[in-house]
Amino acid sequence: MNIQDTLSSTEQKVDNSEKIKIYLCGVTVYDESHIGHARTIIVFDVLRKYLENKKKEVELIQNFTDVDDKIINRANDEGIPAHEISKRYIENYFRDFDELNIKRATNYPKATEHIEDIIEFIKKLIEKGIAYASENGVYFSVSKFPEYGKLSKKKIDELKSGSRIQVDETKKDPLDFAVWKFSDVEPTWESPWGKGRPGWHIECSVMSMKYLGGNFDIHGGGRDLIFPHHENEIAQSEAHSDGKFAKIWMHVGMVTIAGEKMSKSLGNTKSIKYVLENWGPNIIRLFCLSGHYSKVIDYSEEMLKENLTKWRQVETCYYELIHANNVEQENISEKIRNISTEFDKSLEDDLNTHLALSSFFELVKETNRLAASEKLGKENSIIIMKEFERISKILGLNIPKINQEEKEEIDSLISNREKLRGEKQFEDADKIRDQLNEMNIELMDHKGKTIWMKKEKIQKDC
């Protein structure tokens, strides 16, 4: 499998000879997660599920930044301790992402639980003369790392001239960034240099190394993390251990809304909670996977609606497979095998989920075509279903399940309706159809038989 690497600007082969180690920069837990966060995490979820489907072992580490100015500010606003803010939003995180059908990472390390490791890491940087303590904190000396700028393709002198931030006079160089900030505002920790808290970038260097070792396979996150976050991580990690850091840097494009980046600071975010309530997990996933992960996608109700239509087709396909019992059948093994191969091929090539979805819809279409022409038999459906389920699992799509009791009720209502239709009592038959509709059961009348499907309840689908 190849993935476009931001550092080398080329596609790199994922070395999957042994366990594949992935570090994903997660969220700072100070507010509701939004659809932009969802996209990045869904992309990595698909990557992971695809690799696992290939029987590869994947170790996915995703951090929570749980110490940060924003968390502290919010805590002050609400008059509660910072850890309660982070605790609340970590809970919200799992509420949202579990519902989005994200497989939980191997581990979710938190910055506050790795303060000792962070201090040790900084100690070594200081010993090597790469970091220094000054009045306000401990800083990483960018000039000691000649390759600084290699990820974001920035030249150090250009950064200097373009620097808009207020220069902290206690730094040796305006580009130097904090690895430890002195502070008396809680939360703080003691350190050999003074009381304070870690800088933002250091946690990822420390935790990725701790859990995955120095040279792991893929390091990912949103594009907006390239600079300064990932640039600084590389500097810290490679300066610390003198070895190459992550092998592949994979960055997911932003989600815009009306052409503008969705971000908390712009106040134009759509929270996952909101989108889940209105559209449900499957449509969000289809939407997030509808373009190449590296590109921008624009959030709009129209796009979600389009994906709702697609999702209904997928549901139809599933229920056609469940109910398949035609006698006459076509030989479809080869066709399905080709679809399966194409699907994999698309993902192998830089996780092209859009193309992969095309293959999936081909399978859906083929199934529905067979059903329409009364040529979808049991053997066919077993072959197709196997692939349908494999693909659904990789993409993280989930048909709502139905329990036995519900099923029996539906079957009995349908047979009543069939009886009434046979007697041409259409008004009463239609009443039953309406009744089923209210249960989100949709009937599809085929020649000689009626099959049903349970539609996922979508708020916006009215």
Of 104-112, 237-245, 324-332, 345-353: span binding RNA (CB under 7 A): 345-353
User: Which C-beta is closer to RNA: that of 161 or that of 404?
Assistant: 161
Please report whether residue 395 would count as binding RNA according to CB under 7 A.
no
> Which two tokens mark 399?
């048909």
Which one among 56, 83, 123, 261 touches RNA, defined by CB under 7 A? 261
Burial of 195 (0-12, 13-18, 19+ CB in 10 A): exposed
Size of the site for RNA (CB under 7 A): 90
Which one of the spans 14-22, 104-112, 296-304, 327-335 is the region binding RNA (CB under 7 A)? 296-304
Give which of 205, 200, 208 is closest to 23, Cα–Cα: 208
Q: Which stretch binds RNA (CB under 7 A): 50-58, 101-109, 272-280, 288-296?
A: 288-296
Residue 282, amino acid = N
| Subset of 217-256 contacting RNA (CB under 7 A) | 221-229, 252-256
Q: Which of 3, 12, 23, 28 binds RNA (CB under 7 A)?
A: 28
At its nearest, how many Å lie between RNA and the CB of residue 249? 11
Structure tokens at 395: 């993409």
Q: Does 345 bind RNA (CB under 7 A)?
A: no
Helix (H) or strand (E) holding 280: helix 272-288
Task: Rule CB under 7 A: choose which of 106, 183, 278, 368 binds RNA.
Answer: 368
Site for RNA in 51-70 (CB under 7 A): 65, 68, 70
Q: How far is the CB of 55 from RNA (least distance, A)?
A: 24
Nearer to RNA, 42 or 133 (CB): 42
Exactly one of 290, 392, 398, 440 binds RNA (CB under 7 A); which one? 290
The residue with tokens 């109700």 is 301
Enumerate residues 134-193 that contact RNA by CB under 7 A: 152-155, 158-159, 162-165, 177
**Alpha-carbon radius of gyration of the chain:** 26
Q: What is the DSSP string of 225-271?
A: GIIIIIHHHHHHHHHHHSS---SEEEEEPPEEETTEE--TTTT---B
Which CB sits closer to RNA, 348 or 389? 348
Q: Which two tokens stand for residue 275?
A: 């989108």
Distance CA 433, CA 417 (A): 8
Question: Which residue(s) pair with 298 in the sheet?
Answer: 256
d(CA 281, CA 435): 26
Among 21, 39, 74, 285, binds RNA (CB under 7 A): 39
How far is Cα 98 from Cα 273, in angstroms, rounded to an integer? 11
Cα angle 238-241-244, degrees, rounded to a multiple of 5: 45
Q: Which residue has the tokens 């300066």?
A: 239
Give me the least distance between CB of 445 and RNA, in Å please.
Answer: 3
Cβ distance to RNA smaller for residue 163 or 190? 163
Asked if residue 442 binds RNA (CB under 7 A), the reply is yes
Contact status: 296 vs RNA (CB under 7 A): yes
